[in-house]
Amino acid sequence: MKNLLLTTAIAFTLSAPAFAAGSHSGGHGETKTEAEHGHSEHAGNHAAMMIGMPGDAAKVDRTIDVTMRETDDGKMLFEPASIEITQGETIRFNVMNIGEIEHEFVIDTLEGNALHKVAMAKMAMEHDDPNSVRLDEGASGEVIWTFSNAGTFEFACLIPGHYESGMHGPIKVSQMMVQADVEYAKGTIKKIDAKGGKVTISHGPLLNLDMPAMTMVFRADEAMISNMSEGQDIEFVAEPVKGKLTVTQMK
């Protein structure tokens, strides 16, 4: 299996023009190729801003494990095959290459990955950017990234032939919902029916429900009632829950 994959990799290398190995941060001679590479790098930086920015390791919200491997039938895979994130999250991608050849993990826009894939097919280069990690077989590494924009992006391996063998998947960043300011009403608890899950409150206007001041019976769960006592002055939020006015927040 390993010899077959290495033979495939060599064939891709021989079919491309012979250039000196380099990286995104490596130097080239003053040639047209360098100018084109510089343009590609600028486009990549712009794409990186579109998907977010390098994250702070001290502010990671969660870690996602990603493995890279090959299959016996010649496919190359990421697991998981897709990733879902909420806008604003800082993610640590814990990347492991459990395959038998070198792979990389690059996050970018679909357009950015497409441009870099074309560039890598023309030149032997290695990514050295905060949105990517390249790993030998058996190695592990990480990418820490803050996804500041919503949209559909992509993770991929851009080593020639690997993307075409299946090494890419979507990153779906859902829009962060902005919570509206909560309007608390003032009231005084008149009666508590813990067994029935009810509380009688003499309250001021309930602005979120467009209701005037009055004395009403509300539903409340066991945990909420355990923090109540008759005669207690409270600030609370009431909302319809299964057709019953219910105390959902209290302070």
| pLDDT tens for each residue of 9-18 | 434 433 333 3
* H or E element, residue 122: helix 110-122
Per-residue pLDDT, 49: 76
- pLDDT score for 29: 35
- Report the chain (251 residues): mean pLDDT per 10 consecutive residues: 42 37 37 39 57 94 97 96 95 98 96 92 77 97 96 96 97 79 90 96 93 96 93 95 92 89
> How many Cβ atoms sit within 10 Å of the Cβ of residue 16?
13
pTM comes to 0.57
What's the confidence (pLDDT) of residue 183? 86
Residue 150: other Cβ atoms inside 10 A: 15
Letter string b/e over residues 207-216, b meaning 16 or more CB atoms within 10 A of that residue's CB = eeeeeeeeeb
Q: How far is CA 74 from CA 50, 134, 157, 164, 183, in A?
A: 33, 20, 15, 11, 59
Domains (ranges, CATH) in the chain? 2-174 (2.60.40.420), 185-250 (2.40.50.320)
In contact, 106 and 155? CB cutoff 8 Å: yes
Q: What is the pLDDT of residue 212?
A: 95
What is the rounded CA–CA span in Å between residue 5 and residue 72?
10
Q: Tell me the percentage of the chain whose pLDDT exceeds 90.
A: 68
CA 116 to chain CA centroid, nearest Å: 22
User: Distance (Å, rounded) from C-alpha 251 to C-alpha 235?
Assistant: 5
